[in-house]
Chains A and B, each alone.
Chain A
């Protein structure tokens, strides 16, 4: 098992030298004290998230661990190239499947996986989004399984969340331990909001003939990621709108203001496809802006991400991302996929059913770590229950080997303890591709656990990319 801080002989790995020095100099007791201080700050600022359907505290904190997760400059160079490559390929794939479908004609990806996919929106066929960009913010979930081995666990092409933690975790660390950052050894993440805004402005619609007005569309303050929505809108200096603030008239989109209607050009939407426009997608929805999709299609407004972008981050499509990279870019994939069995394929299915106790089973459309089976950690009964589910509907499931995720040190009850971590960087795609040196490190706080999702006992850490 790879440990981010310690080599096999328990010596400190080079990127962690500064962190190790700091831990030793501060001492565990003082660190523990400051840990609770950090929590108080988070609570005070109001950085909370909601978990649906569990009752209890509607605004809870994601546990924050003080000890940063560190990447060396050369590690990051490789990751960075790999992430940008993947983001380019995913967008090329989206353009392709909503136009001629070359990759399907070439037989690289089975047609039905795309056309029968729930996330594929026929309404998007032939639509040309500005710059041919569909997914403007690509969140790539990466795990490390060995010193130089990084593997992509999944892609998030719709509206990946969590970037506010990248910014706030750093903010808290800089507020509490300014001395750590004095020497300028850590790359700054501050530029993310302005780069996001630039990206959104670059994809202004053709009918926009002035400086584009960009807004962030949120479902409202009860949404679990509402804090992030308001945080980002604030940092970009744009309006945070709810669906009822917007309306369509004369083929354009407007927001209601104290001075009457004001035109909107680019919408960074943090609501799901089906809630964008009840006239097009979900007639019984009370949310959404009636007529918005037509305005989008006719170049009156840009939606980021584009409706239907989710077809690229489906777990069944995921299997083919390395093929996409070769097909569209003619390049060799820099980041590996995790080996994946699609239960829809009969041979794969047989293998999966024979090896359930060693595999991780995921739903094709699932997210958030819900409804998955971790074979080695499951009881016989749970495994059998899952076997029945898979047999009933094989195409709903994929399987992956139980990965040996790397561990990183956390401040636990017994001092420094090792826990499994993953990593999500946020790649911005506009006229250019931009990647802030940083991302969100999620950590499974339960000993031995492999599930890092915040809804399932996961926490977060500040992530450092060391300057060259």
Chain B
């Protein structure tokens, strides 16, 4: 496979995942801002912060939904806005049309201009529909890849890009929200905490899944455990890393040689297997999360180095 093709597939996977995660993040803000007792501005502030692409407006004193929606959904100058992500993914796809199946291309190409002419006010009015649309687009793309793409190196690069982005998004959400999960904030069990905790789950679309696994109340330990260490929740850090490791191993088998990113991934998987949630909290949730963000970044660059892109 051409190195350029691998690169484009990898980034296409990342951009589609980022669009999806950003839609879920905005959705969380939208829902939280509607709840009684919430501080609307603060909700949007944490959305802006967690997105990682709006640190300047996250720091603004007056912040409203419109500014956040503009920046995260529509802004063509923000490389991580949903609009930019969908455009970039399409540009990646267009540059390597032959590596995509017809189904995948149609999913990328369908309605890609839609966000081009929209202003923030219109977008805000139709926000639920637009977010739903974004999630449908990314789901259609993922579905098309699953059922039509050959299971070879191209598929591995595409999936690894998506998984790295997903691990990164979950980690960044935790990075912003870690303080609400720390036991000393506010009175445990208070209504405020409940909202904050559920918001973390909501942003990762994990509200119901959490119940299925933990069968009880929301606790900070439970939520952190779920998002970091749970092996069956597909947005958890552990799940993402295990999958990346598997794809790297498959790729090494296919090419018949070991690679350096395999080492980075397996070290992280071992670490996640070993550490319990108590230990994780004791040694510092925030430290763990920052460290994991660094590892994820390193993994991404090791992959591009190893496969010449």
Q: Which of B44-52, B77-85, B94-102, B171-179 contacts A (4 or more CB under 8 A)?
A: B94-102
A3→B243 CA distance, assembly (Å): 64
> A256-B308, A259-B255 known; A231 and B2 CB under 8 Å?
no
Whether B258 is near chain A, meaning CB under 8 Å from some CB there, is no
Q: Is the CB of A230 within 8 A of B97?
A: yes
Q: Is the CB of B308 within 8 A of A233?
A: no
Interface positions, chain A 241-271, Cβ under 8 Å from B, are 241-242, 244-245, 255-260
Whether A46 is near chain B, meaning CB under 8 Å from some CB there, is yes
Whether A44 is near chain B, meaning CB under 8 Å from some CB there, is yes
Query: Interface residue tally of chain A, by bracket?
Result: 20 to 34
Q: Which of B65-73, B103-111, B140-148, B191-199 contacts A (4 or more CB under 8 A)?
A: B103-111
CB A293 to nearest CB in B, in angstroms, measures 22
CB B290 to nearest CB in A, in angstroms, measures 31
Q: Is the CB of A239 within 8 A of B98?
A: yes
Kindly list chain A residues whose C-beta atoms are within 8 Å of the C-beta of B97: 227, 230-231, 233-234, 240
Q: Is the CB of B307 within 8 A of A258?
A: yes
A220→B96 CA distance, assembly (Å): 10
> A44-B106, A44-B109, A259-B255 known; A241 and B94 CB under 8 Å?
no
Number of residues from B at the complex interface, CB < 8 A: 23
Q: Is the CB of A245 within 8 A of B94?
A: no
Q: Is the CB of B106 within 8 A of A256?
A: no
Q: Is the CB of A245 within 8 A of B98?
A: no
A344→B125 CA distance, assembly (Å): 68
Q: Is the CB of B106 within 8 A of A258?
A: no
Whether B1 is near chain A, meaning CB under 8 Å from some CB there, is yes
Whether A106 is near chain B, meaning CB under 8 Å from some CB there, is no
Whether A183 is near chain B, meaning CB under 8 Å from some CB there, is no
Kindly list chain A residues whose C-beta atoms are within 8 Å of the C-beta of B109: 44-46
Name, among A46, A233, A241, the residue most crowded by chain B CB atoms within 10 Å (CB to CB). Answer: A46
Q: Is the CB of A257 within 8 A of B1?
A: yes
Kindly list chain B residues whose C-beta atoms are within 8 Å of the C-beta of A245: 2-4
Kindly list chain A residues whose C-beta atoms are within 8 Å of the C-beta of B102: 45
User: Interface digits, B3-23 against A, CB 8 Å rule (1 contact, 0 not)?
Assistant: 111100000000000000000
> A44-B109, A46-B105, A46-B109 known; A256 and B2 CB under 8 Å?
yes
Q: Is the CB of B91 within 8 A of A257?
A: no
Kindly list chain B residues whose C-beta atoms are within 8 Å of the C-beta of A259: 1, 255
Whether A221 is near chain B, meaning CB under 8 Å from some CB there, is yes
Nearest-neighbor residue (CB-CB) of A226 within chain B: B94
Interface positions, chain B 91-134, Cβ under 8 Å from A, are 91, 94-98, 102, 105-106, 109-110
Kindly list chain A residues whose C-beta atoms are within 8 Å of the C-beta of B157: 258
Nearest-neighbor residue (CB-CB) of B154 within chain A: A258
Partner of A233, one of B3, B91, B98: B98
CB A339 to nearest CB in B, in angstroms, measures 43
Interface positions, chain A 34-73, Cβ under 8 Å from B, are 44-46
Q: Is the CB of A239 within 8 A of B2?
A: yes
Kindly list chain B residues whose C-beta atoms are within 8 Å of the C-beta of A231: 97
Nearest-neighbor residue (CB-CB) of A235 within chain B: B98
User: Interface digits, B151-173 against A, CB 8 Å rule (1 contact, 0 not)?
Assistant: 00100010000000000000000
| Secondary structure type dominating chain B contacts | helix
A245→B98 CA distance, assembly (Å): 15
Nearest-neighbor residue (CB-CB) of B110 within chain A: A44
User: Interface digits, B291-302 against A, CB 8 Å rule (1 contact, 0 not)?
Assistant: 000000000000
> A256-B2, A256-B4 known; A220 and B95 CB under 8 Å?
yes
Kindly list chain B residues whose C-beta atoms are within 8 Å of the C-beta of A244: 4
A259→B309 CA distance, assembly (Å): 11
Interface positions, chain A 191-239, Cβ under 8 Å from B, are 220-221, 226-227, 230-231, 233-234, 239
CB A35 to nearest CB in B, in angstroms, measures 20
Q: Is the CB of B1 within 8 A of A258?
A: yes
A233→B106 CA distance, assembly (Å): 18
Name, among B3, B95, B98, B110, the residue most crowded by chain A CB atoms within 10 Å (CB to CB). Answer: B98
Kindly list chain B residues whose C-beta atoms are within 8 Å of the C-beta of A239: 2, 5, 98
Nearest-neighbor residue (CB-CB) of B7 within chain A: A258
CB B197 to nearest CB in A, in angstroms, measures 43
Nearest-neighbor residue (CB-CB) of A231 within chain B: B97
CB B13 to nearest CB in A, in angstroms, measures 15
Nearest-neighbor residue (CB-CB) of B112 within chain A: A46
Kindly list chain A residues whose C-beta atoms are within 8 Å of the C-beta of B3: 245, 256-258
Nearest-neighbor residue (CB-CB) of A246 within chain B: B2
Nearest-neighbor residue (CB-CB) of A216 within chain B: B98
Q: Is the CB of B308 within 8 A of A260?
A: yes
Kindly list chain B residues whose C-beta atoms are within 8 Å of the C-beta of A226: 94
A259→B109 CA distance, assembly (Å): 30
Q: Is the CB of A45 within 8 A of B4?
A: no
Kindly list chain B residues whose C-beta atoms are within 8 Å of the C-beta of A256: 2-4, 308
Kindly list chain B residues whose C-beta atoms are within 8 Å of the C-beta of A234: 97-98
> A239-B2, A258-B153 known; A221 and B98 CB under 8 Å?
no
A244→B2 CA distance, assembly (Å): 11
> A257-B1, A258-B153, A259-B255 known; A240 and B106 CB under 8 Å?
no
Q: Is the CB of A221 within 8 A of B94?
A: yes
User: Interface digits, B186-223 against A, CB 8 Å rule (1 contact, 0 not)?
Assistant: 00000000000000000000000000000000000000
Kindly list chain A residues whose C-beta atoms are within 8 Å of the C-beta of B105: 45-46
Q: Is the CB of B308 within 8 A of A258?
A: yes
Task: Kindly list 17 other residue pairs between chains A and B, CB separation below 8 angstroms, not including A44-B109, A239-B5, A241-B2.
Answer: A46-B94, A46-B105, A221-B94, A226-B94, A230-B97, A230-B98, A231-B97, A234-B97, A239-B2, A239-B98, A240-B97, A245-B3, A245-B4, A256-B308, A257-B2, A259-B1, A260-B308
User: What would be 12 A-B contacts, judged by CB atoms less than 8 Å apart?
Assistant: A44-B109, A234-B98, A239-B2, A239-B5, A239-B98, A245-B2, A256-B2, A257-B2, A257-B308, A258-B1, A258-B153, A258-B309
